[in-house]
Structure 1
C-alpha cells in the first residue's frame, strides 16, 4: 500500500517531467523581455549630468559676451576721433577655446540640436573674426586721415599769421582760414556720420579751397594742398570702414547664439520633464516586478520542498552508488595502467626486434676496428724486444757507474754498446712507430666504444626522460646503427638550421631507425638514394623528412600503413608494429607524420614535431 507522502512525491515528479522544453523557452523569453523593459526604463532615466549641460550654457554665454564686446569695440572705434591709445583686445584665443570646448561638449551631451548648430555657429564667428580684422584696419586708416586733417588746422593758422603782415589782401587770408575751419568741421561730421550728402559737402568745400589756394601766398598754398590730400585720404578710407560696419551689423553671429541658447534651454527642460516621467514609469514597473518576484518566490519555495523530498528519496535509493562508481573507476584505472605498460613493453619489444635485425651488421662494424686494434697491438709486441734490450744495456751501464772503481775499458765498451742499441732504435723508428700504433689502437677502441654507446642509448629503458634533443645528432647516431642495412645506398643529408626539440630522445631515435630501415628495405635495386632533410616548420615546429627512391606504396595500401600488425613485407620480415608505434610516439609528442608515395618513384615520410610538446610525453616503459 502506497503512503500519501510517496504519492505526493510521485505526482511532483510527474509534474516536473511534464514541463516541456517549449514552456521553458517561453519562460526564458518572458524573463528576457521583462529585463529588457526594465533596462530600457532605467536607461531613459539616465542622461548627461546637469554639470555638463550647465557647462554648455556657460560656453554659449561666453560666446555671447565675446560678441557683445566686439560690438562695443566697433561703436567705440567709430565714435572716437582721436587715434587709439592702446591696441585692440584680441579675443581670438578665447574664441578658439570656447569653440573647441563647445564642439567636444556637443559630442558628449544627447542633443541633436546642439550638434547640428555648433558648426553653423562656428562658421558665423569665423566670418565675424575676419570682418573684425578688416574693420580694425579700415578704422585705423580713417582715424589716421582724420588726425591728419585736424593737424592741418594749426598748421594753416600759423601760416595765416605768418603771411598777415606782408599780405595786402588780408580779407582773402581771413576767407581762406574760415574755409579751412568750415572744412575741418564738415570732415569731423563726415567721420561721425558718413552719409553721401555729407561726403558731397566735404568734397565741395575741398574744391572751393583748392580753387582759392591759387591766389594765396606760396607757403599758405602748400599747406592748403597738404590739407586737401589729407581730406582725400579720409574720403577714401571712411567708405570702406562704413561698408565693413554694415556687414558686421547684419552678421547673424549674436542672434544665432541667442537663438541656440534659448532652443537648447527649452530642449533641456523637455528632456528633464521626459526623464522625470520615465522615472515614474520605472518606479511603477519596479513595484510590479517586486510583486511578481514575491509570487514566483512563493512558487519556487513550494517547488524546492518537492525537490528536497525527491532528492531525499533518490539519496535513500542510491546510497551505494558512489561506492560502486569508485570501484568501477578503480578497475578502469588499473586496466588503463596495464594497457600503458603493455604498450610500453610492445614498443620496447619492437625496438629490440629492430636491433636484432641489425646485430649482424653491428657485429661486422665492431669486428673491423677490433681487427685493427689487434694488428696494432701485435706490432707493438714485436717492437718490445728492442726496448727490452735497451733497458738491459742501460741497467748494466748504470751498475758500472755506481761501482765507482769500474775499469775504464769496460765502461767504454758498455757506453759503446748502449749507443749502438739507441742508434738501432732510432734507425728503425721504433718510438715513432709505437706512438702511431698506439694512436691507431686508441682510434679503433673509440669506434667500438661509440658503437656500443649508441646501442646502449638506443635500447635504454628510461623512456620517460624528456630533454632538449639535437635531432641532427639523433639522425647521425641512427645512421651509424643502420650502417649495415644502408650498405650500397647513398645517404644525402640536407640539414637545416633547427633548434633543439624538447622530447624523449630514445623514442624519437626509435622513430628515425624505423623509417630509415623501411626506406633501405623499400629499395629493391642495389644502389638507391635515401635523403634526410631537416627544416623549420613555422615559428614553433620543426620537420624531418625521410625520402627514398624505392618501389613506393600502392594507393590502396597507403591509408592502412599506420594500422597495428599491418605489413607489406614477407612473412618473418616484419611485425607490422613499426609504423604504428612510430605514429603513436610522434602523436604523444604533439606532432604528426605525413606520408607521400608514388609507385615506382619512391616514398617520403615527414615528421613534424613542436619545439616544446603541449605536455610531457607519456612514459612508454
Structure 2
C-alpha cells in the first residue's frame, strides 16, 4: 500500500507505471496474436489434410485409368491400397473434416468409395472377359468421389483465405488500438510529468523577471518537491548573499561619504568654535543680547551638525524596505554634500529639480542610488567636468530610450523621471549592455567590486521602476530612472 502511494507521488513511479502499462498492452496483444496464429495454424493443417485426401483420390483415379488401359493386377492393388488410405484418412480426421462439411457428406464419401471399390472389383472378377457396362459406372463413381474431395479441399482453402483476411484486419486493428493506447498513456505521462516541469519553467522565468520570490510545488511528486525545496533554498541563500553584498557596497559608499561628512561638519564646528572663543574673550564685557546671539549661533550650528550625523547614521543603518513620500531636491542636495570630498574643485554639479517634487520611495535606498550614480559619474570626469541632475513628473506610454532594465520599463502612467548626465568620456558600445551585471567592472583589481550599478538596478527594480542608460564614446553618459508616482505600484 505504501509502495503504491510512493509510486503515485513520484515521477519515477509514474514513468515506471507507464512502462508497465505499455509492456502489459504489448504482452496482451502478443498473447492474443499467438492464439490467433494457433487458430490459423490449425486451419492450415486442416487444409493440408483436405489436400492430402484430394491427392489420394486423384491417385485412386490414376491407378483406375491404368488398370482399364493395361489390366494389370499391380494397378488394381495400388488402387485398393489408396482406397483404404482414403477411408483411414476420413476416419482418423472425421472431427476435423466435420468443420469443413456435414457428416452426411462424409458418410456419402465413404459410401461412394465402398461402392466404387465393389464395382471395380466386380469388373476385375469378370476377367478375362470383363463386363463392359461396369466401366462407365466405375468412372462415374470415381468422378463423384473426386468432386466431393475437391469440394472439401476448395472449401478449406476458402476458409483459410477468409481466416487470413480476418487476421490481417484484426492485426491492423490491434496495432491501431495499441498505438492509440500508447499515445493516451504518453499523453497522461506528459500531463503528469512534463506539465509540472513546464510550470516550474514558467515560475523560474517569473523569478528571473522579479515577479515572484520563491517557487511553489506544481505537483506532489517527490522529485519535484525535492527540486523545489533545493531551488528555494538556493534562492534564499542567494538573497542573503545579495543583501550581504549590498551592505558591503553601502559600507563602501559610507567610506566615500565620510570625507564629505567631514567637510560638512567642519563648517558648523568652525562656527561653534569661533562663537565660543568670542564669548570667552568678552566674558563680563558684552551685554546679554550679544551673548544670547552667540549662544543661538552655537545652538544652530550644533543642530546642523546633529542633522548631518543623523543623516549619515540613517544611511548606514540596515532598515526594512518602506515607501514614503520623499522630497527629491533636499535628498539630492544632502547626497551631494556627502560626496563633496570626491568632487573636483573645478567640477560642477547642477540641480534642476522642483522644490516641491516628491516621489514614493525608501529614502535610504534612493540615496544609495544617487551616491552610486554620482560617484560613477565623478570617476570619469576631468577637472572641467559637469554633472547635471534633473527630475520631473510626467506621463509615459513607452520604455525610455537606450539600454533599459527593471520591472517598470513597460509600465504606463504617471512617473517621476530622474536623469543624471555627465560630460565624461562615455561608455564603449560593447560594454554598455553589461554595466548592470554584478561584479562587472573595467577598473583594475582592488579598485572596486563592480557592484555599484548592479545595486542601483536592484533598488530601482525594488521600487517597481526602470533604469536606462544612453552613452557614446566622447559624448558623455545619461542615466534615466523612472519611479511610479502611485504608491500601490511599488512592491512592499
| Structure 2 length-normalised TM | 0.50
| Structure 1 length-normalised TM | 0.40
Greater percentage in helix: 1
Q: Which has the larger radius of gyration?
A: 1
